[in-house]
Chains A and B, each alone.
Chain A
């Protein structure tokens, strides 16, 4: 640790969320010297996933409002006469309204660790905002938890999957297919048939409905080729359009909420058809739903890109605070940063995640908010033979002005929760605090655990063991111009958005990368160092199998065409 950071780079990236990490990887890959820092002790920023003890420290950080002012040497005196400084924020202000609820001691889950109690009691005394009914939790079990701050899924033909494959970063991660699409209708949770096999096997649909649905979905797959069939409805909403089609109300509901994943008012006919087509297009690539979830949680993905950046020489430094950006008065460009040790680090480009800017910089920025809830429950919202189901459920908004709530239920095989429990993530665009937005849905789907076991009575709803609510800033839709006085070589990355997929992060990363490195290829597949050194490697008995050139490599320059995929272990 005696090591000092080098003092000159091409690109300094501040924040390790998904867009920043992709850009860091892309820049490093194309030969830029990258310094990637995060003031936090973990990777991912608001894209992180936490074990339970990790979450407790996170809670502590966001509940105790004491400014953790580490003794930093003042930077003001390091600013020269012909320079100005843009001070960065020392505290993350993107998380609000954090509330934690524990529902009773549950023998089976052994919630008994002293420090958890101690911590929770401290919070209880200090912060009335934190209301805890009972503290209960054993680290041995709970550290298996990987609690995503944002939960997203990967569309199997979405931009992120394409990028993971193209860049070969996919080798660092493993995924599970989402197994079910669910709908919540008339107080009941039911499975939505969406693949051909599902439709035919469905017991809840009549023969007539099956034919109707197949016909409609087949049309959606190629709707662009039949403009005459929807042209007349372009002016109305998708909801109204569905009513004009030969579909029962049942089917209209499924298509609107669970397949197009939109609402009565949000989408036009074209948007709805496009969303439906996209959904159908993603079916069947990896399984019979369009979605994948990364093992160990969403927080793995930024780390995978960071590794790629490091492999190509990027330097990583967590717990590293950047105090300010130094701007040259004459050129108006940013030329350096000053870190927590007062060290001046020179660079050509500076990429800063939104949450690092101070209030001065963001005074004109209007942010949206995301409402989040994370629950631990004792059974699935829809019980089936297998207890290893991963489900997504959309609960439509009940009142105007509110937003649909997306529910993702993870089972233990996703490596995010312990066996016998489920980790449930709820997400919606905020209209109020997270708890006000989401508690009604939680109450519809779950029942709080109580000590009294109701004997001989079938408990219909899953029981709630633990719940966390919080609001997160959504900086995804902020125009760069709304930040005050940013030099042209300072680029802004946003935090997570509310959408289900990751397209926004990838688009943002690619656009910013093109500004930093114009005309460079975005994350091309890396060459295989092993193959460069060992020509005609005899240690690889399976070489003949892997010599098939993967599709994604077909556009790579000729010299790399004979390189095998480096870390393609199971080929």
Chain B
């Protein structure tokens, strides 16, 4: 049996660039034209094999808190990777990408894997952001970059495979969570007794 490694992935990017659609395509292989701004679904998981391990992606959505630039720092805590999304048909969304990267550097963990997704590549006839620009920027900050279409299921798997490859192998010394407690209803039973 392969070991399952849980990896928190946080999504960043302006409202309307297709963050939720990318996750929806990745996790459920489904695309909805009328997807409403993220409500209720803040968290999805998908497990994919990677070498000797299974990577279980725990993908966190912004829950709309990015809309008025009010993402909480706790959103970034413990993330193994961040997917930063822009819309290739909107130059603005590429400009703000840099702001998200800055915020990530400020609040995110030190060795976070960054992946840039230029979404809506099915609309390349009204493209505003050349792929070259994205590639140069990604290289400068050491990020993975790919153009995606959640609508036509282009490069979505590849995006997450790219992340998987960048995740450093598990350090055997850091196995376990050294006494960190997650609160769960079942822990009621209590392992120790006074």
Interface of A with B (CB < 8 Å)?
1, 3, 5, 43, 161, 164-165, 170-177, 194-197, 280, 283-288, 292, 295-296, 300, 303-304, 306-307, 310-313, 315-320, 413, 526, 529-530, 533-534, 539-542, 548, 550-553, 565-571
A-B contact pairs, 5 of them (CB 8 A): A43-B72, A165-B183, A197-B194, A534-B28, A548-B186
Q: Give chain A nearest CB distance to B190 CB in angstroms.
A: 5
Complex-state Cα separation, A164 to B182, whole angstroms: 11
B6 touches A165 (CB 8 A): no
Complex-state Cα separation, A533 to B35, whole angstroms: 14
- Of the candidates A171, A286, A300, A315, which one forms a contact with B67 in the assembled complex, judged by CB atoms under 8 Å apart? A315
By DSSP majority rule, is chain A's interface helix, strand, loop, or mixed?
Answer: loop
B183 touches A295 (CB 8 A): no
B72 touches A413 (CB 8 A): no
Q: Give chain B nearest CB distance to A343 CB in angstroms.
A: 13
Complex-state Cα separation, A1 to B93, whole angstroms: 11
Q: Give chain A nearest CB distance to B14 CB in angstroms.
A: 9
Q: Give chain B nearest CB distance to A275 CB in angstroms.
A: 16
Q: How many residues of B contact A (CB 8 A)?
A: 46
Q: Does B3 contact A (CB under 8 A)?
A: no
* Chain A to chain B: the 4 pairs with minimum beta-carbon distance, closest first: A550-B185, A170-B183, A310-B63, A303-B72
Q: Give chain B nearest CB distance to A255 CB in angstroms.
A: 15
Contact status of A303 and B73, CB under 8 A, knowing A292-B181, A539-B47, A569-B56: yes
B39 touches A175 (CB 8 A): no
Chain A CB within 10 Å, residue with most, of B6, B47, B183: B183
Q: How many A-B residue pairs have CB under 8 A?
A: 148
Complex-state Cα separation, A319 to B188, whole angstroms: 40
Complex-state Cα separation, A316 to B65, whole angstroms: 6
B68 touches A569 (CB 8 A): no
Q: Give chain A nearest CB distance to B96 CB in angstroms.
A: 9
A311 touches B63 (CB 8 A): yes
Q: Does B166 contact A (CB under 8 A)?
A: no
Complex-state Cα separation, A159 to B123, whole angstroms: 52
Contacts of A541 in B (CB 8 A): 47
Chain B CB within 10 Å, residue with most, of A1, A285, A304, A551: A285
Nearest B residue to A177 by beta-carbon distance? B181
Nearest B residue to A280 by beta-carbon distance? B194
B185 touches A318 (CB 8 A): no
B179 touches A3 (CB 8 A): no
Contacts of A317 in B (CB 8 A): 68, 70
Nearest A residue to B177 by beta-carbon distance? A174
Q: Does B64 contact A (CB under 8 A)?
A: yes
B190 touches A285 (CB 8 A): yes
A318 touches B43 (CB 8 A): no
- Of the candidates A288, A296, A550, A567, which one forms a contact with B74 in the assembled complex, judged by CB atoms under 8 Å apart? A296
Question: Which chain B residues in 35-85 approach chain A with CB under 8 Å?
Answer: 38-47, 56, 58, 63-65, 67-70, 72-75, 77-78
Chain A CB within 10 Å, residue with most, of B41, B182, B194: B194
B42 touches A311 (CB 8 A): yes
Contacts of B186 in A (CB 8 A): 548, 550-551
Contact status of A551 and B188, CB under 8 A, knowing A413-B178, A570-B6: yes
B183 touches A164 (CB 8 A): yes
B193 touches A284 (CB 8 A): yes
**Known interface pairs A170-B182, A177-B179, A316-B70; 19 further A-B residue pairs with C-beta atoms within 8 A, sorted by A's residue number:** A3-B68, A5-B68, A164-B183, A195-B194, A197-B194, A284-B193, A296-B77, A303-B72, A310-B42, A311-B63, A313-B64, A315-B67, A319-B69, A530-B27, A539-B45, A540-B47, A548-B186, A566-B43, A570-B6
Complex-state Cα separation, A317 to B187, whole angstroms: 36
Complex-state Cα separation, A170 to B180, whole angstroms: 13
Complex-state Cα separation, A318 to B187, whole angstroms: 36
B42 touches A551 (CB 8 A): no
Contacts of B193 in A (CB 8 A): 196, 284
Q: Does B15 contact A (CB under 8 A)?
A: yes
Q: Give chain B nearest CB distance to A120 CB in angstroms.
A: 22
Contact status of A284 and B192, CB under 8 A, knowing A548-B186, A551-B186: yes
Chain A CB within 10 Å, residue with most, of B28, B68, B72, B184: B72
Complex-state Cα separation, A433 to B187, whole angstroms: 43
Contact status of A172 and B63, CB under 8 A, knowing A197-B194, A283-B194: no
